[in-house]
Amino acid sequence: MNQGMKQKLLFAMLVTLASGAAFADDAFKQADTDQNGAISKQEATSLPGLSEQWDTYDLNTDGELDEVEFSRFEQVMPKDEKSAQ
Ligand SMILES: [Ca+2]
Ligand SMILES: [Ca+2]
């Protein structure tokens, strides 16, 4: 195997790994558009059903959902709506 082929193979592996990581990215990170580690009410508007149920999930009523609070929403989030995002 020559050096060029090795590099092509390595590149293909990296692409595979990168796309796998992107696929595994959870709904929380996708919804957290400013990436401050919490979902604001503004960010919640992109998620069907979350704004309507906001008070149910914002347990400490600080106006944002942290990852723990959001995980409760994720558990009830319909799978088809999840993949449509
Ligand atoms: Ca945020
Ligand atoms: Ca909260």
Q: Which of 13-17, 20-24, 59-63, 79-83 has the lowest mean pLDDT?
A: 20-24
Quick: pLDDT tens for 32-63. 999 999 999 999 999 989 999 999 999 999 99
How far, in Å, from the CA of 25 to the mean position of ligand 2?
21
Which residues, in sequence order, are bridge partners of residue 40?
64
Q: Where are the domains of the chain?
A: 26-84
> Per this entry, what is the length of the chain?
85
85 contact partners, CB below 8 Å, separation of at least 6: 27, 30, 46, 47
Single-letter amino acid, residue 30 = Q
Fold of 26-84: Recoverin; domain 1 (1.10.238)
Spell out which residues have Cβ within 5 A of ligand 1, the ion: 32, 34, 36
Amino acid type, 35: Q
Q: Considering every ligand atom shown, identify the ligand nearest to the alpha carbon of residue 40 and give its number.
A: 1
In the predicted model, is pLDDT for residue 26 greater than 90? no
Q: How far is the CA of 55 from the centre of ligand 2 (A)?
A: 9
Residue 18 has pLDDT above 50, yes or no: yes
User: What is the percent of the chain with per-residue pLDDT over 70, rounded to a whole number?
Assistant: 76
Average pLDDT over residues 26-34: 90
State which residues have CB under 5 angstroms from ligand 2, the bound ion.
58, 60, 62, 69
Is 31:64 a contact under the CB 8 Å cutoff?
no
